[in-house]
Amino acid sequence: MQSPDDVATAIGRNVRALRQQRRMTIDALAAASGVSRGTVIQIETARGNPSIGTLVHLAEALRVGVTSLVDRDATPRVVVRRAEQAVPLWSSEAGSTAVFRIGTDPPDVVELWDWTLEPGDAFDGEAHPIGTAEVLSVLRGRLGLRVGAVEHELGEGDTVMFQAHVPHRYSGAGEGPVRFTMVVLQPGDAGLVPPTAIAPAEPD
């Protein structure tokens, strides 16, 4: 049997974590749940045991079940995706590929990609929602990067981060293939889902 203090600590930790994941302020959660701001603060700081009715209202506002609020399991989630499970989501006639390695679920989406572009080949990325960032690191070869109207060239070991709410283009800029990793950070939109396919590049 869990002690009241253990229950209060678990509920406080879970409510605070879920609220922050959904980018809600304490005031926003209070308004959405109909629970007073002071009560939300007390719950998050484990200074009281909320009633069943309060838990139900908070769970509804946070879009989870009550079980998620009282769960004491604080073990970090670990997801391993083996090499053979990686998903190639784009390829070109020239032999270029984009492999989706792993990603997170909304609301805060993080995607890890593994790209290889053959010399002269390219991929055009559409504008993402404002707030999206991409981080690219060149493992081998030379990468051409166009963000909006600005051109960049990166060599082996170079890394770049850019705001991706404008159209952008990656291209093989050297004599051999370029391989690079890409991390896409797309925060806070609950309507986003991990990709199932990406469109081919348009001719330059």
Question: What HEC string does 62-92 produce?
Answer: HCCCHHHHHCCCCCCCCCCCCHHHCEEEEEC
User: pLDDT digits over 61-80, tens only?
Assistant: 998 888 888 887 656 778 89
User: Binning pLDDT at 50, 70 and 90, where does residue 186 land?
Assistant: confident
The CA-atom distances, in angstroms, between 102 and each of 32, 35, 82 are: 33, 37, 10
- Locate 89 and state its tokens: 């989501």
CB neighbours of 140 closer than 8 A, spacing ≥ 6? 156, 176, 177, 178, 179
Q: What percent of the chain has pLDDT over 90?
A: 61
Residue 198, pLDDT score: 59
Taking each helix axis as running N to C, give the angle between helix 4-21 and helix 37-44, from 0 to 180 degrees, rounded to the nearest 10.
110
Q: What is this structure's pTM?
A: 0.67
Q: What are phi and psi of 15, to 5 degrees?
A: -60, -45
